[in-house]
């Protein structure tokens, strides 16, 4: 299970809050797609969840993220060329077999 309570992300350089008091939870094996306009915090939410450290360089983060030992993965906005030979639509429609990800990513 993944749960987020009152996540707030404030971009220090831009002096703006992109996410404020965001809360949700996902049960095991659930999938979610986060969509929205550019610059509204979608990638920042995912970076906060996977805790890749890069977000802390330019943002202040508050709130609670509980992953309970879950493995969390996401498809980043920018990919190296030729790593994945499929469209975002194909990815979202699950046309790529899970074995591919287990072996290649």
Do residue 21 and residue 59 come from a single domain? Answer: yes
* pLDDT at position 99 over 80: no
Question: How far apart, in whole angstroms, are the C-alpha atoms of residue 53 and residue 27?
Answer: 25
Question: How far apart, in whole angstroms, are the C-alpha atoms of residue 103 and residue 25?
Answer: 29
Range of the domain at 11: 2-72
pTM: predicted TM-score of the whole model, two decimal places: 0.67
Do residue 61 and residue 80 come from a single domain? Answer: no
Do residue 80 and residue 68 come from a single domain? Answer: no
Do residue 42 and residue 67 come from a single domain? Answer: yes
Mean pLDDT of 14-30: 91
Which tokens sit at 69?
Answer: 């030992």
Burial label for 50, CB within 10 Å (0-12, 13-18, 19+), is: middle
Q: In the chain, how many domains are there?
A: 2
Question: How far apart, in whole angstroms, are the C-alpha atoms of residue 103 and residue 105?
Answer: 6
* pLDDT at position 97 over 60: no
Do residue 8 and residue 54 come from a single domain? Answer: yes
Q: Over the stretch 47-60, which tens digit does the pLDDT of each residue have?
A: 898 876 778 888 99
Question: How far apart, in whole angstroms, are the C-alpha atoms of residue 56 and residue 12?
Answer: 10
């Amino acid at each position: 299970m993944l749960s987020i309570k009152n996540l707030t992300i404030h971009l220090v350089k831009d002096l703006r809050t992109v996410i404020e008091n965001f809360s949700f939870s996902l049960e095991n094996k659930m999938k979610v797609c986060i969509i929205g306009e550019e610059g509204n915090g979608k990638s920042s939410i995912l970076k906060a969840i996977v805790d890749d450290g890069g977000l802390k360089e330019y943002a202040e983060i508050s709130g609670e993220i509980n992953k309970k030992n879950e493995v969390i993965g996401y498809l980043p906005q920018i990919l190296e060329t030729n790593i994945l030979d499929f469209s975002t639509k194909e990815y979202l429609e699950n046309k790529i077999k899970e074995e591919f990800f287990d072996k290649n990513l």
